[in-house]
Chains A and B, each alone.
Chain A
Amino acid sequence: MAAGKSPEVLFWVGCSGSFDDRAKKITKAFVKILNKAGVEFAVLGTEESCTGDPAKRAGNEFLFQMQAMTNIEVMNAYEVKKVVTACPHCFNTLKNEYPSLGGDYDVVHHTQFLKSLLEDGRLTIEGGKFKGKRITFHDPCYLGRANNVYEAPRDLIKKLDAELVEMKNCRKKGLCCGAGGAQMFKEPEKGNKDINIERTEQALETRPDIVAAGCPFCNTMLTDGVKGKEKEEEIEVLDIAELIANADDL
């Protein structure tokens, strides 16, 4: 980015995508697709900071706005116009909470971006090894209910010639994975079950080969859930970007 070029899109990697071992794989898969489609993109690298989402959801408006202003300063200096991110929390915050603080960008989730590449003929998707597999999609709260994006990820799954099976709670009624609202960073309150287990059970009811996710946090929660149910040998939890990259053996 520092090179002074103005690429078509800024890929906002996010903290998970940068540091979490599982999420880094999603980052790499998405980058492979971008390269294959010939998208000129940039990352902020060490100049990227947490969007402030977890601080805001925890109630710390000070820290959130501090983070936001720092990031906005950097992005405005680079004259960023369009941002794509694989994290619905970053997506939501950048899209809805940055504008009134001076950061107005065209922000899309990576599933929306991939779909637009597909529509423009810059990307082709083949089922490859996922052909005919049963895939169920878990709606991330901050992509679905929070921003009404339900179809982009599903359209991509269908392109894989896979069988999309829906859980009993899907789309608007999708059940949270349990990570949102800064829950990712703390132990849950006392109850009789963990939320990710409840959601994993709903996913397992569809007898899937693959549980598809569109959020690094959901991915972690569901992966833990599937392990908790000792199903990790049979069922994979994969991000949509990974599905597409793996199908193509990128």
Chain B
Amino acid sequence: MNLIPQILFVLVLASGIGYFARNIKKLIRNIKLGKHIDRNDHPAERWKHMARIALGQQKMVVRPIAGFLHVIVYVGFIIINIEVLEIIIDGIFGTHRIFSFLGGFYDVLIGSFEILAFLVIVAVVIFWIRRNIMRLQRFIKPEMKGWPKNDANIILYFEVVLMLLFLTMNGSDLQLQHLGAEHYTQAGAFPVSQYLLPLFDGLSEGTLIVIERTAWWLHIVGILIFLNYLYFSKHLHILLAFPNTWYANLKPKGGFNNLEAVTKEEQLMMDPDADPFAAAEGDDAEGEPEKFGASDVTDLNQVQLLNAYTCTECGRCTSECPANQTGKKLSPRKIMMDTRDRLEEVGRNIDANNGTFKDDGKQLLDDYITREELWACTTCNACVEACPVSIDPLSIIMDMRRYLVMEQSAAPAELNNMMSNIENNAAPWPFNQMDRLNWKDE
């Protein structure tokens, strides 16, 4: 027996999975650069949320056409994994169609994979047309130039090629079954690839085996390449959508977090007996005063960083954003993409400097996200509501505003006016607090 293909297969599989594991490790390390946040409360509710939003695709179908097509690709992706399992077992043990002992059920399985593969191709072609020919608004915003645009198309090409390889593999297999070739057991139903048979007509058994083997190998190698492509792509969402929805904010969207460090400081200020040196309590372990708000990715929390890696760049947030709709620079999708890009940059910096970050004179604020974008937000939560994977761009905008105001006193002048009014007369306008009840007698 010739063991070479099996050994080769195990090597390819191991390196594919090994690289992937390395990427995942890096991903987790980068996310952990963020601040810890406690989001483990209400586990039952969290599982439910994840089941509805990630597994059940509830938000995707809010837009019926894209939602329906996406569900096809998504179901196709999940189901076809059973086929991948068979390929892996066959590859390791040198068997052929190991699951074929399932008999009639196997026919149903293979038959439905084929139909799904066909539907995936149709869906992907429509996706491609929407992006490249119809050029839907949300796919051609400024932040989608360059890599994001190519990334989106590469994913589509990948999916088509993988599905075509799968069908070619099946079609040539079927032809070999007809010819009664050795090893090619009579198994499976081929509702789609049977139409490929005319292509294989008249080919010799040897040629067919080469075609079948090539398609088989390219299919599995393609899948492994795709797996390793994820880390560099918005396609990471196929994995991260699950943890991301689990860690979503389940409280009413209008309630923003109260900064604890501020509460502590204020309590000290209000308490006349407080020991002024106790102020150090609110500071972190190194004794550096706590920084309010965020100017770089490491000031954000881990869920916000996970959000950035999960973003699918679908632009549903941006297309619902009132600021974006009226021509302002702000795009909540860009907030997420910038956060991810900067986090990756910080990660690469750490890799290049033996595990410690070396100041590169850059930060998320100004170098990626401008103040003009931050101040255009109306905090309306439309982006949060629209996101199909429970990302919260607004919380990043708010943390960056906090930095601008509390660390830099850099609010727009009119807002400074408003705030000094509140400070002086307890209202955002210059009215006297004593006149609050005047409406009663007017």
CA distance A192 to B326 in the complex (A): 6
Instruction: Choose among A15, A59, A92 the residue with the greatest number of B CB atoms under 10 Å from its CB.
Output: A59
| Residue on B nearest A183 in the bound complex, by CB | B378
Q: Is the CB of A182 within 8 A of B415?
A: yes
The reply to whether A189 and B415 contact each other, CB–CB distance below 8 Å, is no
Report B405-419 residues with CB < 8 Å from chain A CB.
Answer: 405-406, 411-412, 414-415, 417-419
The interface bits of chain A over 106-150 (1 if a CB of B lies within 8 angstroms of the residue's CB, else 0) are 000000000000000000000000000000000001100111100
| CB interface residues, B 60-91, toward A, < 8 Å | none
A13 at the interface (CB under 8 A from B): yes
Q: State which size class the interface on B falls in.
A: 35 or more
Interface mask (A14-36 → B, CB under 8 Å = 1, otherwise 0): 01011110001001100000000
The verdict on A146 contacting B292 (CB below 8 Å), with A59-B404, A61-B259, A178-B378 known, is no
Binding site for A on B (CB under 8 A): 251-256, 258-259, 262-263, 265-266, 270, 292-293, 320, 322-323, 325-330, 372, 375-382, 384-385, 398, 401-406, 411-412, 414-415, 417-419, 422-423, 426-429, 431, 433-439, 442
CA distance A191 to B384 in the complex (A): 22
Measured CB to CB, the nearest residue on chain A to B374 is A59
User: What's the nearest-Cβ distance from chain B to residue A245, in Å?
Assistant: 14
Does the CB pair A58–B411 fall under 8 Å? yes
Chain A residues positioned under 8 Å from B259 (CB to CB): 61, 65
Which residues of the other chain, B, contact A18 by a CB distance below 8 angstroms?
427, 431, 435-439
The distance in angstroms between the C-alpha atoms of A238 and B50, with both chains bound, is 40
Contact of B436 among A45, A55, A66, A198 (CB under 8 A): A45
Q: Closest approach, in angstroms, between the C-beta of B63 and any C-beta of chain A?
A: 11
Q: Which residue of B lies closest to A25 (CB)?
A: B439
Pairs across A and B, CB under 8 Å, 24 listed: A18-B437, A46-B437, A48-B426, A48-B436, A49-B426, A49-B433, A52-B422, A54-B419, A56-B256, A62-B406, A63-B423, A67-B426, A141-B254, A141-B381, A145-B254, A145-B380, A146-B381, A175-B322, A179-B378, A182-B418, A185-B418, A188-B328, A190-B372, A197-B326
1/0 per residue, CB under 8 A from B, across A43-79: the answer is 1011011101011111111111111011000000000
Q: What residue in chain B is nearest A102 (Cβ atoms)?
A: B263
Residue of B nearest to A66 (CB): B266
A9 adjacent to chain B (CB < 8 Å): no
| A158 in contact (CB, < 8 A) | no
Q: Is the beta-carbon distance between B436 and A195 smaller than 8 angstroms?
A: no
Residues of B within 8 A of A46 (CB): 433-434, 436-437
Q: Given the interface contacts A142-B254, A186-B414, does A54 sit within 8 Å of B428 by beta carbon?
A: yes
Does A96 belong to the interface (CB within 8 Å)? yes
